[in-house]
Structure 1
Amino acid sequence: MLSRNKRRRMTIRGLLSLIVVFVAARAFLRGNYEHLFVCVLTLALFTVPIFVDRKLGIDLPPALETIIYCFIFAAEIMGEINSYYTKIPYWDTMLHTINGFLMAAIGFALVDIFNRSERFSVKLSPLFLAIVAFCFSMTVGVLWEFFEFAADTYLHMDMQKDWIVHEINSVMFNPDGLNIVEHVKIDSLIVNGEDWIAKYGGYIDIGLIDTMKDLIVNFIGAVVFSIIGFFYVKSRGQGKFASAFIPRVRRTLGLKEKK
């Protein structure tokens, strides 16, 4: 018999899946196959927690699994299809911060699972576990930025969103060719006969500011959970907040915990 938490997670996944199916059907009828692909990808991502639970024997806490479903839905359906990335300020920032937090939790769990197993004789300190969790989260964040850059470069997308800049600081404008920064304020700008200052208020930075902003908020999320995870291990699992985000391996895999 399913537990209350299990039924609640299945209900949330089912409701979100129904919405995605509806959006997919609408995209198909309108001939928008790009949105249809996003919906299919979303449904595929919804199966990842199920695969992790059933095939890998890793028990995802209810809070973590629920947030994963909501995160996927918010990123793909609300962000990509409903254009929340451009319509709602800081939507992308919020998701990258949550991603940094979640990836640190997953990275922390991956190492802590082996750290508590009787199969391994090495005992890792709480500080080392926190550092590994932080590094894992930042690595995932960097790899995602690589993916965005590749998509923008080769598929002509705009995943690394542009930002309006009002001045340029560069050594390229130094009249003597020296490595001294020249500060150039953009007061007028005509592109293809169009006045960009009047229309947009400045020039565009292609992706750099967005990338660095995403990595900075990923860093914040990773640091927050790494600190939480550190004290969680320090008290050996007494922290209720951290335990709500840290997956555990079921003992059926033979990974018994050290006493």
Structure 2
Amino acid sequence: MGKQKKGTKQNRFRTILKALKMELREHRSSFLVYFVLRILVIVMLVLQILNRNYENAFLCILTLILLIMPSLVQVTFKIELPSALEITILIFIFAAEILGEIQEFYLAFPFWDTVLHTLNGFLAAAIGFSMVDLLNRSDRLKFELSPLFMAIVAFCFSMTIGVVWEFFEFGMDQILGFDMQKDTVIQTIRSVSLHPEGRNSVVVLDGIRSVTVNGQELGLGGYLDIGLIDTMKDLIVNFIGAVVFSCIGFVYVKNRGKGRLVRGFVPSRKKAERDFLRIAQETEAQTKVRTQARKEEWTEVRTEEKTAGERVENRMENRMENREENGGKTE
């Protein structure tokens, strides 16, 4: 029973791999981008292992897995991602993990994190919009939403993803001691906590140029904000990306698919001839049938050979018996 389950899982895994290979090669443009990025990540992985930087090596392995996810989603959920959306997702993953984390673009280019969060808001809104749009066009579900409501859902979905990500960054910083919520140097503090009489009145400290902590000068040229401004900037640019796509999506649904820009970012249901998982399953089933037929043919041949051999043996035995009987009569 255990071997049978193991064999079934192996067959399932083999079928998904075949479907993934077909999916990856469906669009030349996205496959080319995937292939180039994968080569770059593998080269980076080798370099990180040689440098014994195993944390970055883990990020490279994670990136390789993430690069397959768009194709895996298409195969599993039977949806078609437009090439523009798929390429954008692949570049986003590479820019965030390899360039941002390993190559330290987050530090070298202050705008890098802002650009990625804006793009994240745009993509998350596209995904949320697509989910509702697919339900709207489903034949199985009686589900129909107005263009305005679809835009609102897309916006809310994008903002939820952005907030959850900030929760994740905060958790990683607090629990594991990371610094995902980047700090900001500021020269002005406004706080009621600084009021000498403890009253609810804002006290402003302006023109801060130096800060000393435990007798040590930080040398940053100002006060160090611990992640709040970075978090709010991320949410603001996420908001901008979400609003932009929600507005474009609203116009797209209103005109039902006439907008080229949105069409390049809105997934659709796969057609039967592009359902590679089904094709792979059918191919696997046909292969099993052929294999079974060959086994049966081979079994029949072996049976016939065995039967023929038994007949020959019987004939030989009969001849020997006849000879013995004839010899006995002669005597």
TM-score by length of structure 1 reads 0.92
- What is the aligned partner in structure 1 of residue 220 from structure 2? 200
Q: Could you tell me how far 1:136 is from its partner in structure 2?
A: 0.3
Distance in 1 (CA, whole Å) between partners of 2:172 and 2:197 is: 38
- Whether 1:233 and 2:250 are equivalent positions in the alignment is no
Q: Could you tell me how far 1:132 is from its partner in structure 2?
A: 0.1
SS at 1:245's partner residue? coil
Q: Could you tell me how far 1:14 is from its partner in structure 2?
A: 0.9
Distance in 1 (CA, whole Å) between partners of 2:74 and 2:108 is: 36
Q: Could you tell me how far 1:47 is from its partner in structure 2?
A: 1.0
Contact persistence 1:228–1:242 (CA under 8 A): yes
Q: Could you tell me how far 1:120 is from its partner in structure 2?
A: 2.3
SS at 1:44's partner residue? helix
- Whether 1:190 and 2:181 are equivalent positions in the alignment is no
Q: Could you tell me how far 1:165 is from its partner in structure 2?
A: 1.3
Residues 70 and 3 (structure 1 numbering): CA distance in 2 closer, same or farther, change over 3 Å?
Answer: closer
- Which of structures 1 and 2 has the larger relative contact order (alpha carbons within 8 angstroms, sep 6+)? 1
User: What pairs with 1:35-46 in structure 2 (closer than 5 Å)?
Assistant: 35-46=56-67
Residues 191 and 175 (structure 1 numbering): CA distance in 2 closer, same or farther, change over 3 Å?
Answer: closer
2:114 to 93, 105, 109: 93
Contact persistence 2:85–2:264 (CA under 8 A): yes
Contact persistence 1:5–1:62 (CA under 8 A): no
Report Cα offsets for 1:75-96 as digits up to 9, x if no partner.
0000000000010120000000
Structure 1 runs (4+) greater than 3 angstroms displaced = 1-5
- Whether 1:146 and 2:163 are equivalent positions in the alignment is no
The one-letter amino acid of 1:78's match is: L
Distance in 2 (CA, whole Å) between partners of 1:111 and 1:40 is: 32
Q: Could you tell me how far 1:119 is from its partner in structure 2?
A: 2.0
Distance in 1 (CA, whole Å) between partners of 2:39 and 2:245 is: 32
Residues 224 and 157 (structure 1 numbering): CA distance in 2 closer, same or farther, change over 3 Å?
Answer: same
- What is the aligned partner in structure 1 of residue 270 from structure 2? 250
More helix by share: 2
Q: Which runs of 5+ in 1 are unaligned?
A: 254-259
Contact persistence 1:174–1:182 (CA under 8 A): yes
Larger-gyration structure (1/2): 2
- What is the aligned partner in structure 1 of residue 97 from structure 2? 76
The one-letter amino acid of 1:171's match is: V
- What is the aligned partner in structure 2 of residue 209 from structure 1? 229
Distance in 1 (CA, whole Å) between partners of 2:25 and 2:172 is: 41
- What is the aligned partner in structure 1 of residue 10 from structure 2? none
SS at 1:160's partner residue? coil
Q: Could you tell me how far 1:117 is from its partner in structure 2?
A: 1.4
Deviates more, 1:150-159 or 1:179-188: 179-188
Q: Which runs of 5+ in 2 are unaligned?
A: 1-21, 276-331
Report Cα offsets for 1:113-148 as digits up to 9, x if no partner.
001112222321000000000000000000111111
- What is the aligned partner in structure 2 of residue 161 from structure 1? 182
**Cα RMSD (Å):** 1.8
Identity %: 54
TM-score by length of structure 2 reads 0.73
Number of residue pairs aligned between Structure 1 and Structure 2: 251
Report Cα offsets for 1:187-220 as digits up to 9, x if no partner.
5422243333xx2111111010000000000000
SS at 2:77's partner residue? coil
